Structure 1
Amino acid sequence: MATNGAATAHVIRMIAPFSEQFSQRHHHNVQFQLVYVLKGWFKSDFEGQGVQTMKEGSCWIQPPNIRHTVVGWSDDCELLEVILPAEHETVIDE
């Protein structure tokens, strides 16, 4: 691995159509997370920020450990995600 596990980058192609089964409040134990919308749109409810809709060309840095719930995406949604470290835990919040 080129980064020796320090980072990972990957394209996520969302499964169409959006389903409520993906709407669990959670957070990621990461040091850094950047998301760029390559195609379509993506909607998430961020703790302290409310519901945000990101469209093609949108980019955001998601603060470490911020609790959020995915609430929707377009059928053609594709995201580019960069995360540090490459191996990390996703925690479902009760």
Structure 2
Amino acid sequence: MAEATGGLAKAHVIRMITPFRPELSVRHHHNVQFQMVYCLKGWFETEFEGAGRHRLVAGSSWVQPPGIRHRVVGWSDGCELLEILVPAEHETVNDE
């Protein structure tokens, strides 16, 4: 998708292949203009600054506000997500 859009957008599937480990979750944000996450399988939970925890389940999605600070708080075994980002190349900044 990045090549087809000249770097405008990126779409990729994220497959959680290992069990969630809380010690790997750090608060961070993405310098993007648009970010959408759609849950293909299982569930995925994130805690957003100022908005609390939100859980995606298979078939649900969210649009993540640009630059919002967040951290992953869990996922199910076999979780799969489709993520769409604008622009394709962007910076992820750790906030801890």
Identity of aligned residues (%): 67
CA contact (8 A) 1:37 1:78 kept: yes
In structure 1, C-alpha distance between the alignment counterparts of 2:66 and 2:72, rounded to whole Å: 16
What's the offset of the Cα at 1:15? 2.7
Distance, in Å, in 2 between the alignment partners of 1:90 and 1:54 is 21
Query: SS of 2:19's equivalent?
Result: coil
Structure 2: gaps of 5 or more residues:
none
1:1-94 equivalences in 2 (<5 Å) = 1-94=3-96
Q: Which consecutive residues of structure 1, in runs of 5 or more, have no partner in the other structure? A: none
**Number of positions where the alignment pairs a residue of Structure 1 with one of Structure 2:** 94
SS at match of 1:69: strand
TM-score (norm 2): 0.94
Supply the AA of the counterpart residue of 2:65.
Answer: P
Which ranges of 4 or more aligned residues in structure 1 deviate by more than 2 Å?
A: none
Alpha carbon RMSD of aligned pairs, Å? 0.8
Q: Distance in 2 between matches of 1:48 and 1:82?
A: 23
